[in-house]
Amino acid sequence: MYETFYNLRAKPFALLPDSDFLYAGAMHRAAYGLLEYGILSQAPFMVLSGDPGMGKTSLLQKLIAEHGQKHSIGLITNARYDIEHLLPWILLSLGLSTKQLDPVEAYHVFTQFLAQESKQHRRVILIVDEAQSLGVELLEELRLLSNLNDGKTLKLQIILSGQPDLQALLQRIDMTQFAQRIVVDYHLEPLTETETGHCIRHRLQVAGGSPSLFTNKSCALIHRLTKGNPRLINQVCEIALTYGFAEQARVVTSKLVAQAALDRSKGGILPLAGREELAILAAAPEDTTEIDAVIPQARTVPQSAPQTAAVTRARSTEQNSEALYQDGLRMKNENRLEEALALFEEASKSPALWLKAHAQIGICCRTMGNTRAAIQAFRVALNDSSASPKEVLDVQYLLARALQSALQNKEALTVYRQLARAQPDYRDVTGRIKQLAASTTGRTNGGPKSDTSDSWVSQAFDSLHRLIGTHRP
């Protein structure tokens, strides 16, 4: 309805989960990175939790899209505690059977499929959405199925996604055996006010619209109303655009958002916060100083110069990203870490700033005490195959220090040894290797090194150094 008026190719705030529109804020980036880490490190169980509307399903869809070619992934979305067995639902999710098989036959079909996939070096990944509905008995069935991972080859991985009740379920005393097998566990938190504004602008840009369509004040109001819940953000923005179209408003202001949210909340169903200010804002006169920028009108690009226009846009994007990065550095130096994080995340969308921006994200997260997010950010930074050898070494060192502070000493030792192989005199690496080797193996410097040939960290760094041309002795 409003798409043509606002020059949009699609609805930017549709409620259906769509990984293309997913805003990768700090929490979502960390959650997705840990899920990928779990897949790479062959974790038998992973858990993703969060309140309704936090974007769990969109993250899972992104995971399926990016890993579905390499592994066989089954998604179970409607299983409940009152069904007798979970295995028929598993077979259905993997496309193995649409019939009601008896338990013995179903088990045979599943084990045969696991064996066939394992021979082709493919793992089977089961994703159970809304897993809080399974109950103890069906979760126990999943635990028993994980026993099919025998020997050295992992055949089956299971990802549970659900609401906070899932965490409470897994913390029960009778779920201890299950909980001990969970390697990755992440709880999604709401977006900050800064992230809410970035999320709104990100979705508008993906839909082909202007990021300045919503003013800064309207974004701040939306955050107060929704408390950073992505689904509620979409609902408020959707109704605001509808009202904007009805009033032929070229910019969505806080007054317009207040009018739309006030009418939408009268039914009492939509759980919005801060409703008491809506009536005041809706009745107040329009603040003409609020408008950040008028939406640019669509222009026709001359057919004779499409390449020049593309180059101009690319240069403009790179310059803007560099400006965001520099602003992020200033914010970090002023200890305004939340704001710095948001700026570095935007700057990281530029390939030229991938490593630098993610490294700064890791530094900010570590300063804020979120070591787990810092570790993930440093790992993401190392995916930049165009980085210089020195940049790679610096980020490896940051990663190793973060791992060490998180008491992941074995993995930290692996990274330090990678650093020593690349540059023996790098910083204090030699001393840290001696310290960690003694604490993790109980041996002195003359003792044998642990075998890290199967370590995914070692393999990743070896591949990265080969890509950038670093030769090791």
Average pLDDT over every residue of 64-69: 89
CATH architecture classification, 24-188 = 3-Layer(aba) Sandwich (3.40)
Residue 469 has pLDDT above 70, yes or no: no
β-sheet with 124-128: strand ranges across: 72-76, 124-128, 156-162, 45-50, 182-188
Q: pLDDT > 90: what percent of the chain?
A: 33
Return the half-sphere exposure (C-beta side, CA atoms, 13 A cut-off) of residue 427.
15
CATH architecture classification, 193-283 = Orthogonal Bundle (1.10)
In sequence order, the 6+-apart residues with CB closer than 8 A to the CB of 444 are: 437, 438
Rounded CA-CA distance 57/63 in Å is 10
pLDDT computed for residue 319 by the predictor: 60
Buried b (16+ CB within 10 A) or exposed e, 339-364: bbbbbbbbbbebeebbbbbbbbbbbb
Going by C-alpha positions, the residue among 13, 10, 468, 460 that lies closest to residue 252 is 13
pLDDT computed for residue 443 by the predictor: 42
Digit-coded pLDDT (tens) for 253-287:
999 999 999 988 887 788 888 777 787 888 888 77
Rounded CA-CA distance 217/84 in Å is 52
* Three-state secondary-structure class, residue 214: strand
> Mean pLDDT of all residues in the chain?
82
Name beta bridge partners: 74: 126
Choose the weakest-confidence range: 48-62, 298-312, 401-415. 298-312
Digit-coded pLDDT (tens) for 162-176:
999 999 999 999 999
Residue 252 carries which DSSP code? B
Residue 299 has pLDDT above 50, yes or no: no
Going by C-alpha positions, the residue among 201, 271, 281 that lies closest to residue 237 is 201
Dump the DSSP string for 301-352. Answer: PPTT-HHHHHHHHHHHHHHHHHHHHHHHHHHHHTT-HHHHHHHHHHHTTSGG
- Residue 94 tokens read as 């993997």
Average pLDDT over every residue of 442-450: 41
Average pLDDT over every residue of 31-43: 89
Average pLDDT over every residue of 121-127: 93
pLDDT computed for residue 166 by the predictor: 92
Q: What are the domain boundaries of the chain?
A: 24-188, 193-283, 307-468
Dump the DSSP string for 405-433. Answer: HTT-HHHHHHHHHHHHHH-TTSTTHHHHH
Digit-coded pLDDT (tens) for 388-410:
888 888 988 999 898 888 888 88
Residue 156 has pLDDT above 90, yes or no: yes
Digit-coded pLDDT (tens) for 338-366:
888 888 888 888 878 888 888 999 899 88
Q: pLDDT > 70: what percent of the chain?
A: 86
| Helix-, strand-, coil-residue percentages of the chain, each rounded to 5 | 60, 5, 35
CA 174 to chain centre: 31
Return the half-sphere exposure (C-beta side, CA atoms, 13 A cut-off) of residue 258.
21
Place of tokens 């759980």: 271
For 455, left (φ over 0), alpha (ψ -120 to 50), or beta? Answer: beta
How far from 414 is each of 248, 397, 419, 425, 442, CA to CA, in Å? 60, 11, 9, 16, 16
Most confident of 29-38, 60-69, 156-165, 365-374: 156-165
Digit-coded pLDDT (tens) for 453-466:
334 444 444 444 44
- Residue 222 tokens read as 């939306």
pLDDT top residue among 297 and 38: 38
Residue 373 has pLDDT above 90, yes or no: no
pLDDT top residue among 213 and 467: 213
Choose the weakest-confidence range: 198-202, 288-292, 383-387, 451-455. 451-455
In sequence order, the 6+-apart residues with CB closer than 8 A to the CB of 164 are: 49, 50, 51, 132, 187
307-468: CATH superfamily: Tetratricopeptide repeat domain (1.25.40.10)
pLDDT top residue among 110 and 303: 110
Average pLDDT over every residue of 48-66: 92
pLDDT top residue among 32 and 153: 32
Residue 441's pLDDT band (boundaries 50, 70, 90)?
A: low
Average pLDDT over every residue of 105-132: 92
Digit-coded pLDDT (tens) for 233-259:
999 999 999 999 999 999 999 999 999
Residue 51 has pLDDT above 90, yes or no: yes
- Residue 127 tokens read as 């994703």
Average pLDDT over every residue of 435-440: 77
Helix and strand totals (H; E) in the chain:
20, 5
pLDDT computed for residue 225 by the predictor: 93
Average pLDDT over every residue of 118-145: 91
pTM: 0.61
